[in-house]
Copies of this chain bind each other. A is one copy, B any other.
Amino acid sequence: MITTKQIKLIKSLQQKKFRNQHGLFVVEGIKMVRELLESNFKVNSVYTTDVSVVDYYDGPIELVTADELRKMSGLSNPNTILGVFEIAKVEKPDVTDWILAVDTLRDPGNLGTIIRLCDWFGIKYVVCSSTTVDCYNPKTLQATMGSIARVKVGYTDLTAYLKKTELPIYGAFMNGESIRDAKLPKKGILVMGNEANGISTEVQHLISSKISIPQYGEQTAESLNVASATAILLNEIRR
């Protein structure tokens, strides 16, 4: 039987501080838990109100009551199953393909959508500045729709990382070369900036090519949402 102490620990993983302290994160819902159980993430524990939803898995599962699930969940309507997994150590990105880097991204939904896009476009690594929102934030995880199981996301001093790389560094700007004219190499790093301020001055100095997405017709909208811009740029990279 699950103890009050365990429930309290799991509930605390909604906060970054406790996720880092324990090296654990939580995913919820039948689909998300399945994606994670079938991934390389190491499972810590699984709790469900209905073991039949997890019949594909032969590791230990703890049956809990709806009330216990509600107490450990971050959702207002918890969905049958909750899994606790170990935060992965990300090995060095391999440099044979494109890598996405994000500089001080703040919105968990945007980061999650971007991870989902990387999964779609076969980008295997996302390098985040240490100032970027946590990829194990429940809202980020939700927005990845399970793609967190396949895309490796690491945090580092982005400036130091970019200083060391030999890959060409592309950055998304409002006033760069049109992505439609740019001759994109087979591999490189694409840097996306903060929602309000774009790429930080420090990182700007390290960009080898500024690219942008041409607006159509009159100059009206001031900018695109960073996830929308990432969608368009990754699609162009993979053309």
Contact = CB atoms under 8 A, between A and B. Distances in A.
Interface size class of A (residues with CB under 8 A): 35 or more
Interface of A is mostly: loop
Contacts of A215: 120-122
Nearest to A238: B216
Given A180-B239, A238-B216, A224 B116 contact: yes
Contact of A231 (B109, B147, B224): B224
A216 B117 CA distance: 10
A228 interface: yes
B147 A220 contact: yes
Contacts of A147: 220-221
Contacts of A217: 122
A15 interface: no
Given A231-B231, A231-B232, A150 B222 contact: no
Nearest to A143: B225
A121 B216 contact: yes
Contacts of A227: 113, 225, 227-228
A100 to B, nearest CB: 13
A151 to B, nearest CB: 9
A147 B228 CA distance: 15
Interface in A15-43: none
Nearest to A113: B225
A228 B119 CA distance: 13
9 contacts: A109-B109, A113-B227, A116-B221, A116-B224, A117-B225, A120-B213, A120-B220, A122-B215, A146-B221
Nearest to A117: B228
A146 B213 CA distance: 19
